[in-house]
Structure 1
Amino acid sequence: MSGSVDRSKFEGEGHGEPSAVGDIVEWVARGIIEGRLLPGDDLTSVDLAKRFNVSRTPVREALFVLSREGLVDWSPRRRPRVSAVRLQDVREIYQLRAILYAEVSAAIVEHASDADLASLSDAHRRLAQAAEQGDVDGYFWGNVAFRDEELRVCGNGIFKEVLDSMRMRTNRLRRLSTSLPGRLQRSCADHQRLCEAYAERDGVLAAALNRSIVLGALQAIEQAWDHAPLTTRRR
């Protein structure tokens, strides 16, 4: 699951089944992000333990991680379930991302080498190929990789730390926006203009474009919210 889960947080000392926690987190998170697991779906430890052929201990640890990341609702005396999303939370997340990515772009223009800018252009070419093929998941994960490359190139560890802390819940929203009608082509064209601003080393333009990209995705989500599969389903 490229770009979506930092497996190093779930592996290593302290786990009797070290890789199992990361495997479960990855499988459940990807299912939620890509829409195969929907708000209100039960996530029983028995079923997950059978699927991964492990004890219930790593399952509980994985569900705790997913709860902490905002993807799972695990209330006292209730089964863990895929969490719902509030539109107000979406707006607050995207408003913060818009501010941060504008600063990321300014830092990229200031610090990036020619090789760094070429790497960003290569990442965009992969986006363009997925967009041309109408491959929503391919484009989405390619966009995750593009954003990761931006954070690497900008060289600001605090920006990366803050944006990584929202990664799972943000990817859930980003996957939704990518899947909306017309969004692949629009997003691809916007990222092309962003790469051109980087190449021209125009920090003001790059910051404005990146802010616009984030807020444009928010606007698309807002317009589709009544039909978006992110609120709790009726049972």
Structure 2
Amino acid sequence: MAMDGAAGTGPVLPVTARLTAGEREILRVLGRSQEPDSVRDAILVSIGADIIEGRLHPGDDLNSVELARRFRSSRTPVREALATLEREGLVEIAARKRPRVRRLGIDEVREIYELRGELYGLVSRRIVEHCTDAQLEELGAVQAELEAAGAGRELDRYFWLNVAFRNTEARLAANETVRGVLDSVGVRTLHLRHLSLSLPGRLDTSVADHRRLMQAYRDRESELASALTRSIVRRGLAAVERSGWTGAAG
């Protein structure tokens, strides 16, 4: 399916005040300024957010001519943005074919989720063992926002707060190597995590799971917190598998 103006309503200019939580997260993972000043970055964050939030689907064409028209740019910044998204595993570019949204094979998805589960288990242990009460309350503040977004059935807001919760955990764990690995693999599955939370009943389950995890942190239960974290990641994978998503070509 070729991408046209229906996926957007004209050019998205790099104005910081207009960046969504998803666009800011994409820039953070890529190590870009949170105040993008190029059309390339505007294209990058717009397409990335469309993929992650499900407005673009695996296998969808990304027509560089149409994208250049949409963003009122030359094709050079379009090609640069798509090349960056290819490196991050969101787009695939084959010779003599249009770029398209990349399909992740189910085996790759399972491997990434397994890695994330183990690494976040380590993160949870480090949080219990090393964080001060004040640092835990910083995480608790994000949890409170999660609860509010869940109660309001605000899926996209809840999703990006969920991402912020995990990012805060990784920062507070103070292991930059682990944090870097999580960023490197995490962007490839953001759209699957969004899909998982959109399924019936998943939002309420996620709220309850994170509430229990936050209580384990406050109770200083290291192994319980680690087990809960791994369980949360496994639940997400199981939901993706049950959804019928396979990553196979249609």
Fold equivalence (TM over 0.5): yes
Q: CA deviation at 1:108?
A: 0.6
Q: Check conservation: 2:58, 2:103, Cα contact below 8 A.
A: yes
CA–CA distance in structure 1, aligned partners of residues 194 and 123 of structure 2: 21
Question: Any gaps of 5 or more consecutive residues in structure 1?
Answer: 12-16
Q: Check conservation: 2:135, 2:172, Cα contact below 8 A.
A: yes
- Pair 1:92 & 2:139 matched: no
Of 188, 211, 220, the residue aligned with 1:201 is 220
Of 25, 28, 46, the residue aligned with 1:4 is 25
- Secondary structure in structure 1 of the residue aligned to 2:25: coil
Give the letter for the 1:5 counterpart: I
CA–CA distance in structure 2, aligned partners of residues 57 and 69 of structure 1: 19
Aligned-pair Cα RMSD in Å: 1.9
Q: CA deviation at 1:10?
A: 5.1
Instruction: Please name the residue that 2:8 is paired with.
Output: none
Q: CA deviation at 1:137?
A: 0.8
Q: Check conservation: 1:4, 1:168, Cα contact below 8 A.
A: no
Q: Check conservation: 2:116, 2:182, Cα contact below 8 A.
A: yes
- Secondary structure in structure 2 of the residue aligned to 1:100: helix
Q: Check conservation: 1:34, 1:175, Cα contact below 8 A.
A: yes
Q: Check conservation: 1:39, 1:229, Cα contact below 8 A.
A: no
Deviations 1:28-63 (A, max 9, x none): 111011111112211111111122222211111100
CA–CA distance in structure 2, aligned partners of residues 207 and 112 of structure 1: 15
Give TM-score scaled by structure 2 length.
0.85
Bigger RCO (CA 8 Å, 6+ sep): 1
- Pair 1:147 & 2:166 matched: yes
State the percentage of identical aligned residues.
48
Of 148, 153, 178, the residue aligned with 1:129 is 148
CA–CA distance in structure 1, aligned partners of residues 248 and 51 of structure 2: 12
Give the letter for the 1:194 counterpart: L
- Pair 1:187 & 2:225 matched: no
Give TM-score scaled by structure 1 length.
0.91
Instruction: Please name the residue that 1:40 is paired with.
Output: 59
Deviations 1:154-192 (A, max 9, x none): 111011100011232121111011111100000110000
Instruction: Please name the residue that 1:72 is paired with.
Output: 91
Q: CA deviation at 1:18?
A: 5.2
- Pair 1:108 & 2:131 matched: no
CA–CA distance in structure 1, aligned partners of residues 118 and 104 of structure 2: 22
Q: CA deviation at 1:9?
A: 3.9
Matches within 5 A, 1:140-179: 140-179=159-198
Instruction: Please name the residue that 2:76 is paired with.
Output: 57
CA–CA distance in structure 2, aligned partners of residues 53 and 114 of structure 1: 50
Q: Check conservation: 1:10, 1:21, Cα contact below 8 A.
A: no
Q: 1:232 to 1:39 in 2, by over 3 A?
A: farther
CA–CA distance in structure 1, aligned partners of residues 216 and 124 of structure 2: 9
Q: CA deviation at 1:104?
A: 0.3
